[in-house]
Every structure is written in C-alpha cells, then in structure tokens.
Amino acid sequence: MIEVHGLTKRYGRTVAVDDLHFSVRKGEILGFLGPNGAGKTTTMRVLTGFLPPTLGKVTVAGYDVMQDPLEVKRRTGYLPETPPLYTDMRVDEMLAFAGRIKGVPRRDLKERIEQAAEKAAISDVRSKIVGHLSKGYRQRVGMAAALIHNPEVLVLDEPTAGLDPKQIIETRRLIKSLAGDHTIILSTHILPEAAHTCGRVMIINAGKLVAEDTPANLTARLQGYETMKLLVEGPEAAARERLSRVIGVSQVSAIPADDGRVEFSVQMAKGRDSRKELARSIVESGWGLLELRPVGLSLEDIFLKLTTTDEAEESAGSPETEGNE
C-alpha cells in the first residue's frame, strides 16, 4: 500500500530524514516511533504530499506522491499533530468543508459526516463551535475530518497526544477498529501506545531506521539482559573493576553521586540472579553497599537503548540508560 524507497528530506543543511526504506501492507497498522525531532512528522508530511522529498521515491496506493499528488491525496487521510481545524466553524460545518475539499460527492456528504462523527464519537458536539471544544474533542474532530472521505490510507501524527486516559483508550480502540479497511501509519513517542495498537513498529532516530519488528518481538529481542542499580560508597574505578568481574555482567556504567557515592548501572545476562555475587563483591572489598535493586527493562528503556546506543558506546562509562525514574 505504501512503498518508501530511499526517502531523504533535507531542510537546508539539516537532514531530517536520511535514506529511509519501508513498506506498509494493506490493512496494517504501522507504528512510527522516535524521540521528538527524529523525522516522524517529516516522513508523514512527505507521505501525505504536504512536503516534497529531497530524494527517494514514495508511492501510496500505487501512486507516486510527486507524479500524482492529487491521486495520493484523494486516498489519504491525515491528522497532523495539531488538528487543522477552523476554530470559528461549527463541528458540522468543519466536517462538511473537509468532505467537500476531499472530494466527497455532494449526495453522500450528509451520510459521511454522520458516519465520521459517529466513528470519532463526536455526535454529541456536532452543533458546537470548534474553538469552544476541549483538546480531546478537537483531536477527535480532526480524526473525523481525516476519515470523512473514507481514505484507504490514514496517517495519524501523535493521535493520542494531549488526551486524558479514557480518551486515549477510546482512540486506540477506534484506530484498531479502522485497521483492515484502512492502512494506518501512526506516530508516537510513547512506546506502550505503539505496543497496544500497532501490528508492527518502526523505530527511527535522527532520520534513520533503527529497528523494525512487531512490538512483542522487539521487546523479546531487547530483553536479553537485566539491569541492576547499585549505590556504592567507595572508589569508582576500583568498584567498577570489581563489579565487571562478577560472572554474567556484560557492562558497567557509573554515575558519581555526592559524598563519595557512586551509582552503578550493571547489565547482566537474563535469567541469572547474580544479586548475591554483586553484593558480596562490594562488601568483601570493604565498601559500603547502600542500595541494590533490579531495574525491569521497560519499553521506554528499549526505546532509549535503541536510540541512544551510539553515543553511549562512543563515550563508554557515561550513563547509558536513564529511562527509569
């Protein structure tokens, strides 16, 4: 449904998207994950024909975004991060305008507005002025506007940003229910979001593809190790040396804290409980072990792990994962 080959987008000298390749099958939900500024929005804007790519070939529903932009736009519904709504219109008027501009035939317009409003659960506010609605409702009006022409492809840029937990669940349910009929790309920087809704996740950072898999596989692949946090009172270098000699430990990083204390983050093979060995190694050296706790690897850690590995490996010893607050 969507084919992206060697997509590159530069803004002046800044490279926003760097040689990206991917494809999305019909009816699939693809999650686009990455920190802010990773190039998610830029990629989505290229897919929807809002921005021309600097290099590369992008086809949506068989049409090239550069050669047949109108055909692509006819088949694409786009919900940008801030829903593009005319705040002085009523919800009904807004949807009617969106429908007309997307080329919904006049005789179908009323029915389409009704369906879209129902799907996005905004039937109760249809006569209200868009500008008077809450953020959550506006988001949903934006969703209804993106759905109005029943597009084959839906591109949703952070569809749940700024919603309350109940609305988030509803939106996820809506997105899931739309899969099958529609091919969906959604972006988010919240991992559980992707894990909940997407069949496949692509993690991008600094414009490059970092990983691509199902959420479950991604988690399994990356959870091959466990992390322990230790707060030690003692010399940093010696303690690091001692800790890295414990069996199963693959990596040790340290963050010096106040009063001669050091916080170590120790990575070790999964399934091997080495807490006793770790504790013994510190205590037997005569240093103070103030704290020892296992840190479960959350999706956030995976995400950070994937998106920050380069820097962390280059400057070994610097704190690597700080995902767990």
Partner 1 sequence: MRNIWTIARKEMNAYFRSPIAYIVMTVFAVIFGFFFYSILSLFMRQVFAQAQYAQMYGQMPPMNVNEMVIRPLLMNVSVVSLFLVPMITMRLFAEEKKTGTIELLMTSPVTDLQLIFGKFLAAFMLYAVLLGLTLPCILALFRYGNPDWRPLLAGYLGQLLIGSCFLSFGLLLSTFTRNQLVAGSLTFGFFLILWVLDWTSEYSSSQVGQIASYLSLTTHIENFSKGVIDLKDAVYYLSVIGLGLFLTARSVEYQRWRA
Tell the smallest beta-carbon distance from residue 100 to partner 1 (Å).
4
What's the CA gap between 95 and 139, in Å, rounded? 13
Q: Does 80 bind partner 1 (CB under 8 A)?
A: yes
Handedness of CA 218, 219, 224, 229 (dihedral sign): positive
Tell the smallest beta-carbon distance from residue 74 to partner 1 (Å).
4
Closest CB to partner 1 among 31 and 53?
Answer: 53
* Interface with partner 1 (CB under 8 A), residue from 8, 82, 115, 285: 82
Closest CB to partner 1 among 120 and 210?
Answer: 120
Q: Does 101 bind partner 1 (CB under 8 A)?
A: yes
Count of residues that bind partner 1 according to CB under 8 A = 28
Stretch that binds partner 1, among 77-85, 190-198, 234-242, 274-282 (CB under 8 A): 77-85
What's the CA gap between 136 and 130, in Å, rounded? 11
Q: Does 87 bind partner 1 (CB under 8 A)?
A: yes
Strand bridging mode 183-188 / 29-33: parallel
Q: Does 311 bind partner 1 (CB under 8 A)?
A: no
Would you state the structure tokens that stand for residue 2, as one six-digit string?
A: 């969507």
Q: Write out the binding residues for partner 1, residues 30-49 only, by CB under 8 A.
A: 48-49
Strand bridging mode 225-233 / 261-269: antiparallel
Handedness of CA 227, 229, 232, 234 (dihedral sign): positive
* Interface with partner 1 (CB under 8 A), residue from 33, 85, 230, 278: 85
Handedness of CA 65, 69, 71, 72 (dihedral sign): positive
What's the CA gap between 202 and 44, in Å, rounded? 13
Residues that bind partner 1 (CB under 8 A): 11, 48-52, 70-71, 73-74, 76, 78, 80, 82, 84-89, 93, 97-98, 100-103, 145
